[in-house]
Structure 1
């Protein structure tokens, strides 16, 4: 287990599927090696970008195993878990730990509207059953973790921080101010990474990192070095790409960006589907704005 504080750029890997929607392990290894070429702080497997909602526990375990093999101890592995019962999450978490995961990243349940007590019991039970550091993934619209709730969750032994998503920079701001200093706030506000770093986020776990890892690392390092103008310049270079991704059918959009960058990462799992020509051209224009020539443009 990693003892150093997990911070910096932590891209969430996509899951590479064949035409029959089985996992293509060779392509997954190639994808991980692409991410590792940049000075990243870790890799997340099985999160939203990895279509974790559609993965079985056996598939999650296998993907983590491959991740451990590919990173060779260079960076930690964060296993994403997106399930709707405490029992299921524990099953997935135990499988991920057995496979060698260093951290867990867990969403609240997606159905109903748990109150703060239910959130606490959910994460406390998981922590009691699986001894790995837990990052709470605050992304479910019907089960939002408020700053008040997160202050309670921070008391759970294995909870080390929160990935603040959903575009709510206000909640992220309050959490940085109000949570205990040992809690880490990760940004998943893809369109506002630079401002969240300025507020105090200690890194990011977000889809834009997956498709533009080198630019995201360059931006993070520029910010860390106090080169704020450069960090802001990169922000505006990347923004159109995120705006082209942040729409319906996002798994397909993410994979299309990577395809246009020359990486075969397969199709998304059903019910997601390939993009129409208009969406493809929007991504092509966005990549050009970022200074990246797309495969589509070259053809």
Structure 2
């Protein structure tokens, strides 16, 4: 189980390699895990949005979590993602992932439906009560259309095993407000979910990031955090600026294909995205190759 002092740093929402039948590819998943761990990340988040959780049935989700727990082998905490619409389905996943050995859960707000604040509070409170694992709330209003308000977060943060929030919102003022209202709550952590805002979140007292770009450039993303924590704020900001061109590639294709395409270009075979999403066009793949070349991330024979 996650120790609170270990909820920090760079936590990549790892992509999920799939085979020709769009089932989890174990060899590919283990390769991705070793790649990000070699880059110095502080945790691994399986079944997030970059991991195409929405495309995986329960069997594939369980398999991905089990493989990740085994592959990580306790080197860093494993966060297992839950993106269920109903409370019942989320509780079933929470208990399943706890049995599989996950260290923490990352629970997304429901999508499609539009719960009010009391319903949303009841949803997260019931999930928290169903498991002994720590829970990191995942706020992504751009994708789910449901937003965790500052007032709601302040209430949820008082539930013992709700230990933090990942804010994937372009509204940075909301992240600042999350930090302000939880400052006095012991051990509650706020993490950036937008890769543009890693440095800024740390500057306001945040604990780290869940960064999709850390699938591709884990060492660079980790550099932002490590330099900031060492007091080298200028170095951390420089690393943040070097990361931005990679983050800017997200719109080169339909989300979440770009990080997957990047890994394939880098020589880490991870398969195709799950349809209906398809890979970037040849022109966009060439543009991706140029960005990766600038970051020295291409195989040596191509660089």
TM-score (normalizing by structure 2): 0.93
2:167 is the counterpart of 1:169 = no
Structure-2 residue corresponding to 1:156: 159
Indicate if the aligned counterparts of 1:43 and 1:78 stay in contact, CA closer than 8 A.
yes
Structure-1 residue corresponding to 2:263: 258
Distance in 1 separating the partners of 2:272 and 2:224:
29
Distance in 2 separating the partners of 1:71 and 1:241:
26
2:165 is the counterpart of 1:145 = no
Structure-2 residue corresponding to 1:117: 118
2:22 is the counterpart of 1:18 = no
- Give the deviation of 1:292 after TM superposition: 3.1
SS in structure 1 of the partner of residue 231 of structure 2 = coil
Indicate if the aligned counterparts of 1:57 and 1:95 stay in contact, CA closer than 8 A.
no
SS in structure 1 of the partner of residue 141 of structure 2 = coil
- Give the deviation of 1:182 after TM superposition: 2.3
Question: Following superposition of structure 1 onto structure 2, how do residues 92-241 of structure 1 map, counting pairs within 5 Å?
Answer: 92-141=93-142, 142-179=145-182, 180-241=185-246
User: Quick check: 27-36 or 278-287, which moved more?
Assistant: 278-287
Structure-1 residue corresponding to 2:88: 87
- Give the deviation of 1:298 after TM superposition: 2.4
Structure-1 residue corresponding to 2:50: 49
Distance in 2 separating the partners of 1:214 and 1:54:
28
Indicate if the aligned counterparts of 2:82 and 2:90 stay in contact, CA closer than 8 A.
yes
User: Quick check: 136-145 or 241-250, which moved more?
Assistant: 241-250
Structure 1: any 5+ residue segments left out of the alignment? none
Indicate if the aligned counterparts of 2:217 and 2:297 stay in contact, CA closer than 8 A.
no
Structure-2 residue corresponding to 1:289: 294
TM-score (normalizing by structure 1): 0.95
Indicate if the aligned counterparts of 2:32 and 2:215 stay in contact, CA closer than 8 A.
no
Structure 2: any 5+ residue segments left out of the alignment? none
Indicate if the aligned counterparts of 1:57 and 1:91 stay in contact, CA closer than 8 A.
no
Count of aligned residue pairs for this structure pair: 298
Structure-2 residue corresponding to 1:298: 302
